[in-house]
Structure formats: structure tokens, C-alpha cells
Structure 1
Amino acid sequence: MDLDFVCVHAQRAAAELTRRDVARALLAVPSGVALVALPDLRRALTAGGNPLSPPFWESAKTTLRAIESGAATVGEVQRWLESTGTEPLLLTRSFFVWPEEDERGPITEEMFRGMVAYLEERVAAREIDPDALAQGDEQAREAYEELQERWLNSPMPDGRVPGMAVSDEQDEELFAAWDEEEAFALSELRRILADLPAPERPVGDLRAACVRLREVLSGPGYPGNVLRACAGYDGAPLPEDDEELWLTVTAGIAGPISDLPEDDDTPERFSDLEGELTHEDAVLASLCAIHHADWLAVVAALARRGPGVLASPERIARFIAESEDIDVQMDEPDDLEAAETLFSSVTPLWACLGIVDKTEVLTPLGRWGLPRALERAWSAD
């Protein structure tokens, strides 16, 4: 490692290198190599008219030695990198987090470079004191954090707010990945169902289930409030057609459409970060945490086995672990327990819909309707 390496790594001439450029280059090689190269690198930069500063070189030596001895934590190394004065904070006061370098989209990369350029301007204007940061000055650190917070939340000339632009791009990427996963799961479900005989529609069972379902949905509290949120029916009239009602509510369990309606104590309930969730909130959280692959494995297993098969949370967890339809490793007891816990929120709702009976056994209505409901959940916009 030498000055040429640092220049290539930073894509800058030696006279333009910043403390951040040098620090990132030092961290890009084994710590032992960086420690050996440190004196020559310092002399070369000094000879080239860009000496940086003694506090920087001292902090570099201290950090590299800690890394080499195994005493440095990831957080300590990150904080040292940030103390160069032009490294964006990994986590800001408002809990904004920059994605990893290999996970940044074009907008995030643009904003990250913009932040670095802004910090370099502030260093040149002496609004940031890198030497004070390197020496652990708390006031300098607070000012450094405040500058970044302000930049992230201030409109740019084109009207975009950097922090919001990054968050929006991350949301779009997340939704795109979710849509891709859902589309694949839907195609697999249809492939599996195509090889199975179509069950007869249990008209009487469907009618009886919908009579009970309408009563549950019209009543207060659990499970009606959760089922209404799943189906997106809160405040809206229920469809008159039984099949439409039943499939919509069942599909909502696999893909909840809305949250529980807010009440007077909602702000307090969610502002208490150490408080426990209500039963209804916990149920909805569990439903939202179940992956497409898990739903696919469970519904495929139940469709193949047909009415009469046990569909308890324990058996469902085993269906997932033993499924040949999905690529999942559930070898540890904790994995089975996690799946069982999530589906313990599902089976009571299934019982309200007549999908399973009181002994948690799959009914003819459940065999007929579950695959159709899951297909609807994954086909809807």
C-alpha cells in the first residue's frame, strides 16, 4: 500500500485527498499492512503539500493497532471514520440510516455523494473541525451531527429533500422485491393446484360459515376487528355475496389490507415503546410477518392432504419444515417454534371462517377455499 494506491482508491490526485479518503484506503487493506505503510504514506503526503494533521495520523495509528489486536469494535471503527469530518453518519439523531454501499440505488448514491461534498465544503469553511473530532471533542461531534441532520432534511435546489428521497427509493426497492416474490409464489401455487383435482364447492358449509362470519364482523372487539382490518372492511358495507365475502376475508388473513382503526389511546399506546402490544395488534403483526413461502408450503400441503388433516400450529410448522415446494432450512427447534408462534394467530381466525373445526382439523370448506383465497391475496393490486 502506498500513495498511488490511495489515489486510485479515492479517484483523486494526492493534493486533493481528504482524511476520509486516506482512512477508507487504510481500512481497505489488512490492518497490519496499513500500519506498516502508515509512516511512508504520511511522508509522501507531506512532501506533496497535503500533510493532513498530527491528530489524524495519531488517531489512525491508534485505530489500526486496535483493529490488529482485535480490540476494536465495528462501532469504534465507524466512529473513527466519521471523525475524519466528511464521512456521513451511519445513524443520525432522527434514526436515518444510509444503506450499505453495495445496496444503494442511483438516487441514494447521488445523495450520499452530495452529503460528502457538502461536508467537504463545511470543512473548508472551518465549520467542521476534523482534529477536534479525532480527539473526541463532544461539542465538535454535536455540531457535526447537527450539520448532517440539517442537510438531510433541507430541500435541494430541485425541491427534493435528501433524506426523503433516499427513503422513497428504498421503499420502491422493497415494494419491487415484494411484488417479485409474490408473483413467483402465485405462479408456484397455480402450478401445484393444476396437478390436483378441483374440489366441489361446499354450498351449505359456505352459507353457514358466512352467517357466523357476518355476526363476528358486526360485533365489537376480537376477532371481528382483526378480520375487518384484514379484509379492509372497516366502515365499509359488507358484500351481499357469500363467496365474495368469505374469500375476501380469508385472503386478508394472508395479506392484511389495513390496520386496526385508531382510538383515543392509540397515540399513547404506540408512543410507549416498552409497552406491550394489544392482542389484536400482536395478531396483525404476526400475520404480516408470515412469508409468502410459508403460506405456499402450508396451503399446498393442506390442499394435497384434503379434509380431515390436522392443521394445528404445530403441524403447520412441520409442513413448512418438510415442504418440497419451498427452499427453506428449519433444522433448529427455534425455527419450528417461530413458525408455530406465527400461525397460532392464524388458526383461531380460520376457525371463525370454518376453515378448520374446533379440533383444528381442515374442513371441506377450508380445502375448497384456502387455495382460492391465497390466489386472490396474491393477485390483487
Structure 2
Amino acid sequence: MDIEYVCTHAGRPVTAVTRRDVARALLAVPSGVALVALPDLRRAMEAAGNPLSPPFWESARRTLSAVEAGLATAGDVQRWVESTGTEPIVLTPSYFIWPEEDERGPVATEMHAKLVAYLEDKVAAGEIDPDALAAGDAEARTAYEDLQERWLRTPQPDGRVPSDVVIDEKDQELLQDSRVEDEIALTELRGVLAKLPVQPEAPVGELAEAAARLRALLVMPGYPANVLRACSGLDDRPMPDDDGLLWLMVAAGLVRPLGDLPEDEDTLEEFIDLDGELSEEDIALANICALQHGDWLTGVGELVRTGPGASASPERIAQLIAEAEKAEGDVLDEDELRTVEELFTSVVSMWALLGIVDADNALTPLGWWGLPRALRLAWGDR
């Protein structure tokens, strides 16, 4: 590693190389190699008329030594790069998060480069002191964070707000990824249903009774009605008149929640208080949201294949998922198995309210008919 490598890595001539460029180049090679190259690199930069500063070189030596000794965390290294004065902060105080470099879309890549250029101008103007950042000066760090926060919220000449457009791009990417996963899961679900010897028919009486219970429950305050309303999107729209549609909307919402619990000042304080306990509804919704396509396919697929009377207890579903994972070459340890049980405990308690399972957590004819349809609705199959 030498000055030519740094310039090539940065895409700049040596006279324009910044602290950030050097730091990123040093981190692109093994730490031992970087440490050996550091003195010659410093002399080459000085000879080229771009010496940077003693505090920077000392911070580089200190950080690389910690990396080589296995004492530096990823956060330590990231904060060192940020202390160069032109590296965007990965996580800002307002919780804006830059995507990883290899996961940035065109918009995030553009905005990240614009922010780097903006910070370089501020360093050149003396408004950012990289040496103070390298020394761990708290005031300098706060000012550095505030400067970036303001830039992220300030419209560009074309009117785009950097933080908004980066988040929008990421949301669109996640939505597209989710749609692809939905299509794959739907294909697998159709395969499961095609192998059933008998296609379930709607148990009209059970469906009407379950819908009547739901209508009474959904207008009640508190848990569990608030979770069912949030999941089904019925917080901000009226219940449909059709019993089948209402039931399927609520059942599908447990697979793909459409909303979140209403937030008030007390709710926000609960989340900020990391030592506080989450409410029952918060835990339930978090558990439901944590389940993946594969969890639903395995659990529901086996229940549907077995038919009414099949055990739908959280423990049994977790065991089914563990067996499926083992068949694929993966083994769930005890903690992972316990986690799956906990996630489905919230689901099964909601299933009982819909009549999907009975008092013994056994699959009912209504659940046999409705669960596959709920999955299809949740995954976009109309």
C-alpha cells in the first residue's frame, strides 16, 4: 500500500486527498499492512504538500493498532472515519440511518456524495475542525452532528429533501423485495393446497358466529381489540358488511399487519424508557410483525394438510418449523425454538378470538377453510 493506492482508491490526485480518503484506503487493506505502510504514507503526503495533521496520523495509528489487536469494535472504527470531518454519520441523533454502501440505491448514493462534498467545503472554510473530532471533543462532535442534521432536512436546489428522498427510496426497495417474497410464498402455498385431497368449504354457521363476535370485539377499547384493528387496518375505516370479508381482513392482518397502534404521549414515553416494560399490545404486535413468510408457510401448511383437530399450539407450530429447518440443513437451538414459540403465542391467542382454534388450540373447520385464504389475501392474491 502506498500513496498511489490511496489516490486510486479515492479517485483524486494526491493534492486533493482528504483525511476521509486516507482513512478509507487504510481500512481497505489488512490492518497489519496498513500499519506498516503508515509512516511512508505520511511522508509521501508531506512531500506532496498535503500533510494532513499530526492528530490525524496519531488517530490512524491508534485505531489501526486496536483493529490489529482485536480490540476495536465496528463502532469504534466508524466513529474514527467520521472524525475525519467529511464522513457522513451513519446514525444521526434523529435516527436517520444511511444504508450500507453496497446497499445504497441511486438516490442514496447521490445524496451521500453531495453530503461528503458539502462537508469538504465546510472543512475548507474552517467550520469543521477534524483535529478536535479526532481528539474526541464533545462540543465539536455535537456541532458536526447538528450540521449534518440541518443538511439532511434542507431542500436541495431541485426541491428534494435529502433525508426524505433517501428514506422513500429505501421504502420502495423494501416494498419491491416484499412483493417478490409474496409471489414466491404464494407459489409455494398453491402447491400445498393443490395436494389436498379435499378442498375445505366455508362453514357458514361458524363463520357467521365468528364474525358476530368480531363485530362486538372490534368496537371495544384496549387490548386485544386495538391490535386486531391495527393489523386489519380497521382503525381508520369502517367494518365491511360482508361477514366473510371482515373475517378474512382480520385474519390476513395477523399475517401482514396494515397499521400500527395509535401513538400518544404516554406510548412514546414507554418506548423512550428502555428500562420500562412494553404493554401487552405492543408485545403482541411486535411478535406478529416478526414472523416471516417461511414461518407462516410451514406452520399453516402443516395444519392445513392435517385438517381440523390438528394441534395449533405455539409449541407444536414451533416444532413443525424446527423440523422444516432441519430438513433444509439448519438446526434451531433452544433459544431460537423458544423465540418461535413466543412469536406464535401472540398469534394463536388472536386465532382463538377468530375461531381459528378452539379452547384446546386445535384447528377448527373455520380455521382449516380460512387460514389459506387469509395468507393469500395478505400476500396480494385477490
Do they fold alike, i.e. is TM over 0.5? Answer: yes
Query: 2:306 & 2:325 partners in 1: Cα distance?
Result: 14
Establish whether residue 176 from structure 1 lines up as the match of residue 176 from structure 2. Answer: yes
Deviates more, 1:169-178 or 1:202-211: 202-211
Q: What SS does the corresponding residue of 1:255 show, helix, strand or coil?
A: coil
The CA distance in 1 between the partners of 2:136 and 2:230, in whole Å, is 50
Task: Provide the secondary structure at the position in 2 that maps to 1:349.
Answer: helix
- Distance change in 2, residues 1:265/1:57 (3 Å): closer
- Taking a change above 3 Å as real, the CA distance of residues 368 and 138 of structure 1, as seen in their structure-2 partners, is closer
SS in 2 for 1:337: helix
- Post-superposition Cα deviations, 1:99-123, rounded to whole Å, max 9, x if no partner, equal 2111111111111111111111111
Q: Match of 2:359?
A: 358
Alignment of 1:1-381 (within 5 A): 1-196=1-196, 197-234=198-235, 236-261=237-262, 265-270=266-271, 272-323=273-324, 329-379=330-380
Distance 1:325 1:224, change over 3 A: farther
Distance 1:131 1:178, change over 3 A: same
In structure 2, what is the Cα distance between the partners aligned to 1:78 and 1:221?
43
Relative to structure 1, is the Cα distance of residues 20 and 286 closer, same or farther in structure 2, using a 3 angstrom cutoff? Answer: same
7-16 or 67-76, larger mean C-alpha shift:
67-76
Report the Cα offset of residue 254 of structure 1: 1.5
User: Residue 32 of structure 2: SS of its match in structure 1?
Assistant: helix
Query: Whole-Å Cα distance in 2 between the matches of residues 140 and 240 of structure 1?
Result: 61
Secondary structure at the residue paired with 1:57? Answer: helix
Q: What secondary structure sits across from 2:346 in the alignment?
A: coil
Q: Offset of 1:25 from its aligned partner?
A: 1.1
Kept after mapping to 2: 8 A contact 1:293/1:326 = no
Residues in 1 aligned to 2:128 and 2:30: alpha-carbon distance in whole angstroms: 29
Structure 2: unaligned runs, 5 residues or longer: none
Contact 1:207 1:242 in 2 (8 A): yes
In the alignment, is the contact (CA less than 8 A) between 2:10 and 2:25 conserved in 1?
yes
| Whole-angstrom distance in 1 between the partners of 2:235 and 2:100 | 40
Cα displacement (A) at 1:251:
1.6
Name whichever of 187-196 and 324-333 sits farther off.
324-333
2-side partners of 1:19 and 1:252: how far apart? Answer: 50
CA-based RMSD of the aligned residues comes to 2.4
**Distance (Å, rounded) in 2 between the aligned partners of 1:74 and 1:324:** 31
Report the Cα offset of residue 131 of structure 1: 2.5
* Percent of aligned pairs with the same amino acid: 62
Counterparts of 1:260 and 1:60, CA distance in 2 = 47
How many residue pairs are counted as aligned between the two chains?
Answer: 381
CA distance in 2, matches of 1:99, 1:143: 23
Q: Which amino acid aligns with 1:24?
A: R
Cα displacement (A) at 1:10: 0.8
| In structure 1, C-alpha distance between the alignment counterparts of 2:7 and 2:69, rounded to whole Å | 27
Letter in 1 for 2:111: M
- Would you say the 8 A contact 1:55–1:135 is kept in 2? yes
Q: Could you say if the C-alpha distance between residues 93 and 201 of structure 1 is closer, same or farther in structure 2, counting changes exceeding 3 Å?
A: closer
Gaps of 5+ in 1: none
Does the CA-based 8 Å contact 1:297-1:326 persist in structure 2?
Answer: no
Q: Report the Cα offset of residue 217 of structure 1.
A: 3.0
In 2, the alpha carbon distance for the partners of 1:229 and 1:145 equals 35
- Structure 2 distance, partners of 1:318, 1:191, is 22
Q: Deviations over 1:290-339 (max 9, x none)?
A: 11111111111011001111111100111212237996845201111111
Does the aligned pair in 2 maintain the 1:330–1:336 contact within 8 Å? no
Query: Residues of 2 paired with 1:47 and 1:285: CA distance?
Result: 58
Retained in 2: the 8 A contact 1:297–1:325?
no
Residues 130 and 259 of structure 1: is their aligned pair in 2 closer, same or farther, counting only changes over 3 Å? closer
